[in-house]
Amino acid sequence: MANVEKVSVSMTPQHAELLRDAVQSGAYASGSEVVREAMRDWSAKWMQKREEIAKLRAMWAEGKASGPATDADFDAVLDEAREELAAATTDAR
């Protein structure tokens, strides 16, 4: 590992025990290996979360740009959605 940076991390005694147990069991060669795997998992989740947040912001902006809010009959909207779903299900067969 030519390009690494050492960082100090504080954790609960329970997490430290889990980390030590993972190394002592032979599943990992070192505590650093455990932390690197945890960081890879977290990094993937974080990137997905950032993408989802960006999509929500874009949808919010699109909604705001679409004009003022209008009243809607919720039951009518549900009925229309059910009809579209039924039609799509029928078409798929």
Task: Note whether residue 53 is domain-resident.
Answer: yes
Q: CB–CB of 30/23 below 8 Å?
A: yes
Task: Note whether residue 81 is domain-resident.
Answer: yes
Domain holding 39, by residue range, is: 13-92
C-alpha distance from residue 88 to each of 27, 33, 74, 79 (Å): 49, 49, 21, 14
Structure tokens belonging to residue 44: 């993937």
Task: Note whether residue 60 is domain-resident.
Answer: yes
Task: Note whether residue 1 is domain-resident.
Answer: no
Task: Note whether residue 7 is domain-resident.
Answer: no
Q: What is the pLDDT of residues 69-84, one digit of tens each?
A: 889 999 999 999 999 9
Helices (H), the chain: 13-24, 31-65, 74-92
What is the predicted pLDDT for the residue at 2?
A: 77
What is the number of domains present in the chain?
1
Please state, in angstroms and rounded to a whole number, the distance separating the CA atoms of residues 8 and 31: 12
* pLDDT tops 70 at residue 1: no
> Coil, strand or helix: which one is 8?
coil
What is the predicted pLDDT for the residue at 90?
A: 85
User: pTM value?
Assistant: 0.61
Maximal CA-CA distance, the chain: 63
Task: Note whether residue 23 is domain-resident.
Answer: yes
Task: Note whether residue 51 is domain-resident.
Answer: yes
Per-residue confidence band for 15, with pLDDT thresholds at 50, 70 and 90: very high
Q: What is the pLDDT of residues 43-65, one digit of tens each?
A: 999 999 999 999 999 999 999 99
What is the predicted pLDDT for the residue at 4?
A: 87
Task: Note whether residue 71 is domain-resident.
Answer: yes
